[in-house]
Structure 1
Amino acid sequence: METIVSRLEITQVFCEVDDFCQQFERLWQQQPQLPSIQGERLSRSRMHMSEVITIVIAFHGSGYRTFKDFYTKQVLPGWRQAFPKLVSYTRFVELMPWCVMTLCCYLYTRTGEITGINFIDSTPIQVCHCCRARAHKVFVGYVGWGKNSVGWHYGFKLHLVINDKGELLAFKLTAANVDDRQPVPDLTKDLIGKLFGDKGYISQPLFEQLFARGLQLITRCKRKMKSRLIPLIDKILLRKRAVIESINDQLKNICQIEHSRHRSIFNFLVNLLAGLVAYTYQEKKPSLDIHPHGLPALPPTIF
């Protein structure tokens, strides 16, 4: 199985992550710090944060199904020369939550360019099987019940916005019972052009709110809604909305952002963020071979 790591030079990932971590630490030290407790011991791990982040990102493109197998069978035996200060698997798991903020900030540096053609969708992130929802305790207070075309699920909902090149533009994590239309204004605050979504985003107030700041929301009509006149090119692009569903499928099956083995909310966030970063390093992303300035002028059509 060809993986993201095999197609990407791991040294390049580490160099980019390390450069960002150095800048992030300098800016962080310039901010007012919380007062420390008298006698508090301030210690640093022998592994640098950039090393931890690089290994976590590499896991999501390695093809391994569990991080323990990846770390014990790939990292410890084979990467000792690249990372001479490796720690045990148990200690590494303890270090992972400390890189949540840095990893989240780094993900924002990996977002794509605004092309004027945007696609939005949400995908469920289950934290356990529905039969074990009542006994689940790790994410109590953070998750909820949600329902889509497949059925009921218990967990979170990941909202994504991409461009026509398959690049991530924005993301947001909510409970599964949150309406898809609620996070749209925050997700699209910097976008312009056209936004293509499914029927779950139909809302006249939302359309007017986005249109007032230069973003046109385009969705399919429901059965009982009247047909409307839209340009043919918009109808064609609306049919290409499946590209974001392909990305959701890759995030779950290749980058493994969803599994039910989490024992900590912070490790869950690290797993999710690292999976999104690993996707941005993927050379061939699901995309449309178009450019907004090269689209032909087509007449409107009934839709």
Structure 2
Amino acid sequence: MLTKDKEDKLIEIFIAADDFCQDFQRWLDTKPKVEFKVPRFEGRMEVSEILSIIVFYHYSGYKCFQYYYEQQVQTELTSHFPNQVSYKRFLQLISKSTVHLFAFSKWMTLTSEATSIYYIDSKKLPVCHNRRIHNHKVFKDIAERGKTSTGWFYGLKVHMVINNLGQIMSFTFTTGSVSDSNPEVLRTLLTKLQGNCYGDKGYLSRIFEELYEQGLKLVTKIRKNMKNKLMPLNEKYQMFKRGVIESVFDILMTVFDIDHTRHRSPRNAMSHMLGALAAYSFMDQKPSVWLPKLLQ
């Protein structure tokens, strides 16, 4: 049976998903249907129910979605979701809900606070072992080879910006070959942010001036062939605390399993990753960094 804490979390997720679906539908009503097509959801389940089941999976304690659906959703959660469908049918609904899940994950970032202190980084999402690259078919023509500080991999990347409270401000997915300093990636992540954003030397970018005119200062480490410059004490302190975003990635990898190499379709894989990001937004306690009063 569900514990009281997990039941409260499920209700919290469903309320947020239901509010999102209403806002999303109002937005769709203002757009021509020819320009934006949404998959039809034949069946009895509402989109908010589908999103809630996908996101709550990451709080269920199960590591296999089939076991979670058949042993918990179809038994313990029948009163919460009375119009359930079979497991195979639900897999089809997951594929159709990718658009809604992406919009829901982005919608959840709107609740994050603009603290003017941000951290940026990326994480590799390998889709198979390097020895199986030539035999891999699921992500063929989608995944690409990339290199990080830990070596080469074949797959995707998730790029993310968080604030000092550990809340996700923005995220995007790219192929593994896209560099961290890619101008389009930075524009996507850092649009409308103001303050200071801290990253490693991989984020040295030629659009620094463009971001600075926007009101965002990109603070990074320097390369060995660059001249050293003095840095304000508060910026120096925040650079030392940049590891907080690694803590966020560690939670996404170990608790919410955003990274595994057993996906059977790209669309379901993306739904799983988006569900992990949305689930993180519902965490009660997130890694955070507080600025001492002496440095404020």
The answer to whether the superposition gives a TM-score over 0.5 is: yes
Assess if the C-alpha contact under 8 Å between 1:162 and 1:169 holds in 2: yes
Distance, in Å, in 2 between the alignment partners of 1:188 and 1:271 is 24
Aligned to 2:262: 261
Distance 1:295 1:262, change over 3 A: farther
Assess if the C-alpha contact under 8 Å between 2:41 and 2:96 holds in 1: no
AA matched with 2:242: R
Q: Deviations over 1:118-159 (max 9, x none)?
A: 100000011111111111112122211011111111100100
AA matched with 2:274: L
Distance, in Å, in 1 between the alignment partners of 2:46 and 2:272 is 18
Assess if the C-alpha contact under 8 Å between 1:8 and 1:281 holds in 2: no
What's the RMSD between the two structures over aligned residues? 2.0
Aligned to 1:11: 11
Distance 1:127 1:179, change over 3 A: same
Aligned to 2:135: 135
Aligned to 1:103: 101
Aligned to 2:295: 296
Q: Compute the TM-score of the two structures, normalised by the length of structure 1.
A: 0.88
Aligned to 2:192: 190
Q: Is 210-219 or 280-289 further displaced after alignment? A: 210-219
Greater helix fraction, Structure 1 or Structure 2:
2
AA matched with 1:32: P
User: In the TM superposition, what is the alpha-carbon distance from 1:7 to its structure 2 partner?
Assistant: 8.1
Q: What aligned pairs does 1:14-25 form with structure 2 within 5 A after superposition?
A: 14-25=14-25
The percent identity for this pair of structures is 38
Tell me, yes or no, if structure 1 residue 79 matches structure 2 residue 77.
yes
Unaligned runs of 5+ in 2: none
Distance 1:172 1:43, change over 3 A: closer
Task: Report the count of equivalent residues.
Answer: 285
Aligned to 1:286: 287
Distance 1:185 1:28, change over 3 A: closer
Q: Compute the TM-score of the two structures, normalised by the length of structure 2.
A: 0.90
Tell me, yes or no, if structure 1 residue 174 matches structure 2 residue 174.
yes
Q: Deviations over 1:54-96 (max 9, x none)?
A: 0000011222111111111111111111111111111111110
Higher CA-based Rg: 1
Q: Deviations over 1:151-178 (max 9, x none)?
A: 1111001000000000000101000000
Q: What aligned pairs does 1:197-212 form with structure 2 within 5 A after superposition?
A: 197-203=199-205, 205-212=206-213
AA matched with 2:186: V
Q: Deviations over 1:2-31 (max 9, x none)?
A: x9x738531121122112213323432443
Aligned to 1:55: 53
Distance 1:257 1:8, change over 3 A: farther
Q: Is 21-30 or 172-181 further displaced after alignment? A: 21-30
